Amino acid sequence: MQPLSKVVIPVAGHGTRLLPATKATPKEMLPVVDKPVLQYVVEEATAAGLRDVLLITGRNKRPIEDHFDRNTELEQALRHKGAPHRLAELQRPEELATVHYLRQGAPQGLGHAVLRAEQHIGDESFAVLLGDDLIDAGSPLLPEMIKVQQRHGGCVLALMPVGPHEISAYGCAVTRPARTDGTFPITDLVEKPRSDEAPGNYAVIGRYVLPPEVFPALRATPPGRGGEIQLTDALATLARQGTPVHGVLHTGRRYDTGDPENYLRTAIQFGCERPDIGPTLRSWLDHYVRHEMPRG
Ligand code: UTP
């Protein structure tokens, strides 16, 4: 089987939960400490060997294109200043991967965004990584998902157990018991079910490895929840029609950056764990919470 090399990262959503920050900047370009969320996602893809990156962009694509392009003026200024470390950081995004861009047009849902990739992907399996979802660097999740897809074919989804009140924010997977290799056969999927109607507690998180058969399924998928074309609905159809859909459990951490509270939690955790600024940030945070934070 041909090794996977392509990844689709949809970054065309409106990001309404983070307005007004996202009025003129895509939410995927907001920084976590000093790096845009999207760069972490591209780094995760390239670490798993996926160096052909297709970004499905929206109306604010300019800062994204600039980020993954050279900035010769700034390069020269940093050379002149004698700042080799900063220069390396500046050049890192453009050296990571071959980045392609496609506009989604009107954002009509994640499924619609993925369908735009059909011509670029052709007849290969590929990965989809959501541009506002982070997992820890070095996590085995994506390499493991790629391995499962290469071994068994079909679709591979990342799963995480969540509490009954959280499941309504996710696609929910109906699974059979785990196989001996730890993967879960998925028999059905429901997009954002009500807590009392959820058929299980496994949430589908923003990592997918998909075969090209997903494209005809997406084309045949009518608008679903929120009037949008849902990737979950197309995958549910494939599962019901007998395409193998495998769940790989993510046991590490995952960070959502799509709303203010989770975005801030992510920034605080990443900052606290950074070797350069972490120690002083942690002691400042500890002092702030104990002594300076207004009570009540
Ligand atoms: P979200 O549903 O979290 O993004 O989609 P959103 O619609 O921008 O969020 P809110 O609710 O308005 O705040 C998950 C990912 O899929 C992309 C988003 O950019 C995000 O990275 N997406 C979503 C698209 O590219 N196109 C779409 O039509 C919808």
**Is the pLDDT at 62 greater than 80, yes or no?**
yes
What pLDDT is recorded for position 3?
A: 87
Query: Residue 155: beta bridge partners?
Result: 245
Domain boundary assignment for the chain: 6-258
Per 3-state DSSP, the chain is made up of helix, strand and coil in percentages (nearest 5) of: 40, 20, 35
Residue nearest to atom 22 of ligand 1 (CA): 13
What pLDDT is recorded for position 105?
A: 92
Please tell me if the CB atom of residue 109 comes closer than 6 angstroms to any atom of ligand 1: yes
Q: What does the alpha-carbon distance between residue 102 and residue 112 come to, in Å, rounded to a whole number?
A: 12
- For residues 95, 97, 100 and 105, what is the CA-based torsion angle, rounded to 10 degrees? -100
Q: From ligand 1's centre to the CA of 83, what distance in Å?
A: 37
Q: From ligand 1's centre to the CA of 110, what distance in Å?
A: 7
- Tens-digit pLDDT profile for residues 185-219: 999 999 999 999 999 999 999 999 999 999 999 99
Q: Does residue 56 contact residue 108 with C-beta atoms inside 8 Å?
A: no
Residues 6+ apart with CB under 8 A from 166: 203
Please tell me if the CB atom of residue 15 comes closer than 6 angstroms to any atom of ligand 1: yes
Between helix 37-47 and helix 84-96 the angle, nearest 10°, is: 70
DSSP string covering 44-65 = HHHHTT--EEEEEE-TT-HHHH
- The pLDDT confidence band at residue 164, using thresholds 50, 70 and 90, is confident
The answer, as to whether pTM is greater than 0.75, is yes
Q: What does the alpha-carbon distance between residue 45 and residue 50 come to, in Å, rounded to a whole number?
A: 5
State the closest ligand 1 atom to the C-alpha of 107, by its place in the atom list counted from 1. Answer: 28
Query: 227: alpha, beta or left, given left = phi > 0 and alpha = psi -120 to 50?
Result: left
Q: Which of 19, 30, 132 to mutate to test the pocket of ligand 1 (most atoms within 8 A of CB)?
A: 132
Residue nearest to atom 4 of ligand 1 (CA): 13
Q: From ligand 1's centre to the CA of 55, what distance in Å?
A: 13
Q: What does the alpha-carbon distance between residue 206 and residue 15 come to, in Å, rounded to a whole number?
A: 16
Please tell me if the CB atom of residue 225 comes closer than 6 angstroms to any atom of ligand 1: no
Q: Give the 3-state secondary structure of residue 242.
A: coil
- Tens-digit pLDDT profile for residues 91-109: 999 999 999 999 999 899 9
Give phi and psi for 130, each to the nearest 5: -75, 135
Please tell me if the CB atom of residue 102 comes closer than 6 angstroms to any atom of ligand 1: no
CATH topology of domain 6-258: Spore Coat Polysaccharide Biosynthesis Protein SpsA; Chain A (3.90.550)
Q: From ligand 1's centre to the CA of 173, what distance in Å?
A: 20
Q: From ligand 1's centre to the CA of 290, what distance in Å?
A: 37
